[in-house]
Chain A
Amino acid sequence: MIMHANGRDDLVENVLSKMTGTIVAIGRFSRKKPLGGLGLILLGLIVIMAIFSEFIAPQDPIEQFTRTAPTVENPFGDPLRLVGPFTSVDVLDRSTDEPLDTKGVVFILGTDNLSRDLFSRLVFGARAAVRLSLSSVVIGTTIGALLGLISGYYGGKLDMFIQRIVDAWMSIPALVLSLAIVGALGASTWTIIFAISAFVWPSVSRVIRSVTLSVKEQQYVEAARALGAGDIRIISRHVLPQTLAPFIIMASSLVGAAITIEAALAFLGLGVPAPQASWGQMLSGQVVQFIREQPLVVIWPGLMITIAVFGANLLGDSLRDVLDPRLRGT
């Protein structure tokens, strides 16, 4: 028992010291780059929204509420839609069709045109945006970095071949390629991730390739080779660490773009399937017809996208300033 407890204490201590280390590093970064700190906070808030959606959202984001009696004057008649902010409404219970035995449901930001709670949809929209864009960036940058590494290190015909694929891929406009992928394979989480990472990887592979090309000419690589190190060892010990900074810079600067592409796909009707909430989708279709009655319905989702992209871009720029040796100290 005692041994176990000790082991756990060590573990806890270890984790705690690592965590405080990270917090100190973040604090130092924010002091040095206040705009980067702001970006971190904005993006952090959105990530928290995405992780704890169920706890933050007061309503089910796909529930279409029906009011019991038209207590408030509603120009659209019964099935309630487009209720204004902070309105309390008596609604029917879905399962029993009886009036809900409460003092009515409060819609913090009102409802959308299908009488769903706008605030809850915004919260769950954060989940779609964060999950899809972050995983696409992780997958896209990893594939791009691997191909760039191989292309730059081995050179020759393999390099030629990979670069032609990159050329071709980059000559198709990003949004068109993503649309074609989702359109052809059908909209689902994985096809959307595939579609967004399809736009991420080529530019990453270009950057990592050029870094690799310059690193492999360095004398320490030659020295390692003279000592008999194999390709795998040289790549993993000498080339890979050098590509880490540009890798992080590329990844962080692509998050904002990935969020934009996700929103654009959803706006064009090729995002996460229908009842699920996504910011881009909340701006598409019939919603635009209601902007006169309830402008907030189109203002909030766009604002969320803007905050997320703005935060990601600020963070990306500051990370680049800190990590890029050419910009250091400016």
Chain B
Amino acid sequence: MRQYIARRLLLFIPTLFIVSLIIFGLLRLGPGDPIEQYYGDATSGTETNLSAKEIQELREYLNLDDHITVQYFKWIGDIVTLSPGQSFRPPNLDVLDEVVDALPLTAEIALTTIVLSLLIAIPLGVISAVRQDTLIDYGLRVFSIGFLAMPIFWTAILALLIGIETANWIPPLEYKEIWQDPLQNVKKLWLPILILAINSGAVIARMMRSATLEVLRQDYVRTAHAKGLKETLVISRHVIKNAMLPVVTVAGLQAAILFSGTLIMESLFVLPGLGLTLLYSINDNDFPMVQFIVVMVSLFIMILNLVIDVIYAWLDPRIRLN
């Protein structure tokens, strides 16, 4: 097992290297010069509030005039030492500081979403499998198929609409961190979190249902019934544990997909998290910011996948990782 983890960790290096190439190449191939975008271009005569000398200094400060490969390797060095430098967007704040500021909100949304979705999905999936082809089962299946077809931002807009029409409720305009103003924080976040949780919960519940159905037909479940165990005991002791196995993988995949969902929610509800920061930076050609966030998110997802694989092997002794 230790060897397996070590080898997987080693594989991170080429993969991260390719991620860095993809994102760096993509951003630098595109048109649009960030300095021009923020300050105008003195040479082409567009309006600018900086002198040519100041612009030159800024370009040097941001390493924009080096050869593209030099810029790339400088950047790799910066990433490895976790000092990704300054943002292009005035006032050129430190990228790491910005990310560290934005991270807690996104982490709060993502973590509560995962916990909530598992709490919703696992009981629902088990119940609809045990009561297969009853009203609950049909209800869950129709609901999950329908809900998954709805784009998440539309679901959120509909929820806002219902909130306004029925209770004249709208989420507070300003976001407050949880240790500053817990009540305001919850008021602002409960709706996006609930929608994200139902969305990934629908996927997990479907998976849980089919996994439970499979386990219910196993011989050892029949044996458990035959030796006179109560149904609740059979399900809690024998069925759920075994049915959880494939669900671990799906839940992990959902966690990776969750970043996209969080980004959409942050954009709709104007939450200053990592997703919104990334969206603004993409719109602003803020290369250092986009590059750093994308590489970090990818690294996080790779670690997550590794952890899931390890948990999987640990839960299921039949699987020998090779």
A interface vs B, CB < 8 Å?
164-165, 167-169, 171-176, 179-181, 183-186, 256, 260, 263-264, 267-270, 280, 283-284, 288, 291-292, 295, 298-299, 301-302, 305-307, 309-310, 313-314
Contacts and interface: CB of A to CB of B under 8 A. Distances in A.
10 contacts: A171-B305, A173-B301, A176-B260, A184-B29, A185-B30, A264-B151, A270-B282, A295-B161, A298-B161, A306-B151
Interface stretch (B19-27, B60-68, B98-106, B310-318): B19-27
Given A168-B22, A306-B154, A291 B161 contact: yes
A174 B279 contact: no
Contact of A260 (B14, B29, B31, B151): B151
A291 B163 CA distance: 11
A165 B18 contact: yes
A182 to B, nearest CB: 8
Interface string B225-267: 0000000000000000000000000000000110110011001
Contact of A172 (B11, B27, B145, B294): B294
Nearest to B283: A183
B148 interface: yes
A174 B260 contact: yes
Q: What 6 A-B pairs are tightest by C-beta distance, nearest first? A: A302-B154, A184-B30, A175-B260, A183-B282, A168-B18, A310-B149
Contacts of B279: 179, 268
A165 B22 CA distance: 9
Interface residues of B, number: 50
Contact of A298 (B11, B14, B157): B157
Contacts of B157: 283, 288, 291, 298, 302
A206 to B, nearest CB: 13
Which among A164, A172, A173, A310 has the greatest number of chain B C-beta atoms within 10 A? A173
B16 to A, nearest CB: 7
B163 to A, nearest CB: 10
A112 B157 CA distance: 16
B298 A310 contact: no
A305 B256 CA distance: 23
Contacts of B259: 173, 175-176
Contacts of A298: 154, 157-158, 161
Given A268-B267, A295-B165, A306-B150, 20 more contacts: A164-B18, A167-B302, A168-B298, A171-B299, A172-B19, A173-B256, A174-B257, A175-B263, A179-B278, A180-B282, A183-B283, A185-B29, A263-B151, A264-B151, A264-B153, A269-B283, A270-B283, A283-B154, A299-B158, A313-B145
